Structure 1
Amino acid sequence: MIGVRLKLARTATGFSLRGLAAAISHCVSAQSIGKYERNEAMPSSSTLIALANALHTTVEYLLGDPDLVLDDLEFRKNGFISKREEAQVEATVLVYLERYLAVEDILQLQSIRWDVPRDVPYPVFHSSIEADRAADALRYYWGLGHEPIPNLVELLEERGIKIFAFPLGGLGGLAARARRPRLPPVPIVVVNAEDWGERQRFTLAHELGHIVLDISPDLDAERVAHRFAGAMLMPAKSLWLEVGKHRSSIPLGELLALKHVFGVSIQALTYRCRELDIINQTTYRALFNEFERLGWRTHPFKEYGAMDGERPNRFNRLCLRALAEGAISEAKAAEILDVGMTEVSNYMRGTLSSSLEVE
């Protein structure tokens, strides 16, 4: 039944029952839509398509599992984004998450359990500096030491976090927990597929912070998550080893080289150096004035040496594994992966396409 999701979509887009009826050219009445929302009736296929179009969502979303919901949504915004756009992103995440979980069920994997680190959620009650200790504790639990993380997407997927990359417009990313009856919650992070690699990595670490931290309402949650991301990607001991504990200046060439060591932006590196008092406020301001002159402080914020993104591959791998083992047909694989039959057939013959390529 579609009642729960239909009402959520209508509420998110701001339609009244009468307004939605008008938006679909009164092919059904407001009273009929009310019955759909109360699960007292089901719309015809043509009405369902009209409702999905008017609500800027998909039929697949409306027909999806009403018991699968996203909680604790945290959006990282690059600019203004409307409630309607947020609702569209939420619907897209739910659609792809349902496909992901369906493939795991087909393979009887029962989903990789979220490897909940000891002492999570880590408390950050007094100062954002506590986020550094949280990042150190998480790295210790996951056995990462103090070295840079070569592939953050792969690490998080191995730990049971579902990673998706979609074009998000004014959103940098989001974190959420998917909840299902009688099953443990599934943590999710979504990055903007249009961002370059170092920005995506920072978003992943930032959203991970929202998942594992318990932040006091008296603190700026975004600033704390930023501090956690910096500590996760650039541990103090590792950064001190590379640049020293105190510097009077750091040239752009050195920052560019370090960017590729840690997989972060030059600006994130500079900010982290200031957090750790490696550079003073005067040097920090001088560097950011230079970044402003170079155009890095305005949209699209792209710097020298932009890196390719780390692609989430586990969902594709599992789907193609199910196909290879005969658990699903090529037609079903194409439907789940949202690609054409030709692409799936080419993959099975050994001719990879860019959308199905896995690493």
Structure 2
Amino acid sequence: MQFNPARLDLAMDRSRKTARALADIADVTVVSLSQIRSGKQVPQEATVGRIALALGFPVEFFYGEDVDTLPEAAVSFRSLSSVTKRERNAAIAAGGIAYLVSDWLHANYRLPAPNLVDDGPERNPAVAARALRAAWGLGEKPIGNFIKLLEAKGIRVFSLAENTKNVDAFSCWRNDEPFIFLNTFKTTERSRFDAAHELGHLVLHKHGGSNQGKQAEAEANAFASSFLMPRADIISEMPRVHSLTQIIRAKGRWGVSAAALTYRLHKIGLLSDWQYRGFNIQLRSDYGSEEPDSMPRETSALWKMVLDDLWEQKRTRADIAKQLDIPHGELENLLFGLTAAKETPPARNAKPALSVV
């Protein structure tokens, strides 16, 4: 295989290194690096070795085939206004590496087929949330391990260890396969809402409609709120709300933050405007940016099964990274928080249909 400039660009984005910074570290001129990136110059092996060392990627990575990239128009970022270009490119590059891992999964295991409803052109968030719950046989019951549920329904879930609050989560379609990427820098409650928000984008904005902008974000938020906290169940469990303490005690039932439950209660008319403002003020005063009574981190059932199977074969995650010629740390980033954390009680009928090919 020849040197692949596209893979160099991906590695640079992932490591957040500018051309000048890479040129200085790898001891190449900016002009030469530009020629290499444009495909006009084939680098010598020694040069590739220095570039690989500077970027933290195996030399072999740069000689692979083109990696499918996530088109920016197809990727939704919740905090689009606060995401810097470098952060955005790094996250999108992580998605490209996730595609390689997903292809490895498909080659070695039989995964659940995607099972999402098509909301059509009207894109009513509440209606779409109820339709998907019905299609998945959830009824009005609360959802246990949300990541496990998504995986069981054919959605490929990966984590992002971006160590920044600017990249909440994002989602996209690759052909007819849905992907969700979650930033594990968040609390479990926030991560669950992020996942439901991105699920909303996948359902509401697959055809035609943009998944970016204020309207799309509002629609995805409304979907997530309705999907995680069904109106009938909320009214049944909390017909009257008297205190913030009551909300904090109840939020665990739906696995959401106190702020999200407070908003939902107000939205469906169980809190007055005065109560809503008062509870939000009290939340900020008593807890600041912390989440009261936060849940344990959720984990991935699919990856646990894969890693257990690899263990029986006397193989590890490092073997996957070596086979794909990607840094071990990048694979860890995509699985961080999904494989090593304590698992919460799973939702019923949510076991992934995973088998070895």
How high is the TM-score relative to the length of structure 1? 0.76
Q: Give the match for residue 38 of structure 2.
A: 37
Match status 1:69 vs 2:69: yes
SS of structure 2 residue aligned to 1:146: coil
- How far off its partner does 1:174 sit? 2.3
SS of structure 2 residue aligned to 1:149: coil
Q: Can you list the C-alpha shifts for 1:46-76, whole angstroms capped at 9, x where unaligned?
A: 525526736x877676555424222311123
- 5+ long unaligned stretches in structure 2: 330-338, 345-357
> For 1:89, which of 85, 88, 91 is the aligned residue?
91
Q: Give the match for residue 5 of structure 2.
A: 3
- 5+ long unaligned stretches in structure 1: 125-129, 340-353
- How far off its partner does 1:257 sit? 1.9
Structure-2 separation of matches of 1:206 and 1:174: 9
> For 2:223, which of 228, 240, 247 is the aligned residue?
228
SS of structure 2 residue aligned to 1:177: strand
- How far off its partner does 1:265 sit? 0.7
- Pairing of 1:75-154 with structure 2 (within 5 A): 75-77=77-79, 80-107=82-109, 109=110, 111-117=111-117, 119-121=118-120, 123-124=122-123, 130-154=124-148
Change (3 A) 1:311 1:43: farther
Q: Give the match for residue 334 of structure 2.
A: none
- Pairing of 1:120-199 with structure 2 (within 5 A): 120-121=119-120, 123-124=122-123, 130-168=124-162, 169-177=164-172, 179=174, 184-199=175-190
Q: Give the match for residue 197 of structure 2.
A: 206
Structure with higher strand content = 1
- How far off its partner does 1:6 sit? 3.0
Structure-1 separation of matches of 2:80 and 2:317: 38
Q: Which moved more, 1:35-44 or 1:252-261?
A: 35-44
Change (3 A) 1:357 1:10: closer
SS of structure 2 residue aligned to 1:76: coil
Match status 1:280 vs 2:272: yes
Change (3 A) 1:65 1:235: farther
Asked if the contact 1:172–1:192 (Cα under 8 Å) also holds between the matched residues in 2, the reply is: yes
Asked if the contact 2:318–2:328 (Cα under 8 Å) also holds between the matched residues in 1, the reply is: no
- How far off its partner does 1:256 sit? 1.6
- How far off its partner does 1:219 sit? 5.5
Q: Can you list the C-alpha shifts for 1:257-310, whole angstroms capped at 9, x where unaligned?
A: 2111110011100100111112121111111111121143xxxx2221011121
| Identity %, equivalent residues | 24
Across the two proteins, how many residue pairs are aligned to each other? 322
RMSD, aligned α-carbons: 3.5
Match status 1:311 vs 2:303: no
Change (3 A) 1:24 1:331: closer
Structure-2 separation of matches of 1:138 and 1:43: 54
Q: Which moved more, 1:227-236 or 1:31-40?
A: 31-40
Structure-2 separation of matches of 1:101 and 1:65: 13
SS of structure 2 residue aligned to 1:171: coil
- How far off its partner does 1:116 sit? 3.0
How high is the TM-score relative to the length of structure 2? 0.76
Structure-2 separation of matches of 1:196 and 1:250: 26
Q: Give the match for residue 332 of structure 1.
A: 319
- Pairing of 1:245-256 with structure 2 (within 5 A): 247=240, 249-256=241-248
Structure-2 separation of matches of 1:15 and 1:310: 35
Structure-2 separation of matches of 1:205 and 1:211: 10
Change (3 A) 1:251 1:61: farther
Match status 1:321 vs 2:312: no
Structure-1 separation of matches of 2:23 and 2:250: 57
Change (3 A) 1:100 1:198: same
Change (3 A) 1:258 1:315: same
Asked if the contact 2:12–2:18 (Cα under 8 Å) also holds between the matched residues in 1, the reply is: yes
SS of structure 2 residue aligned to 1:258: helix
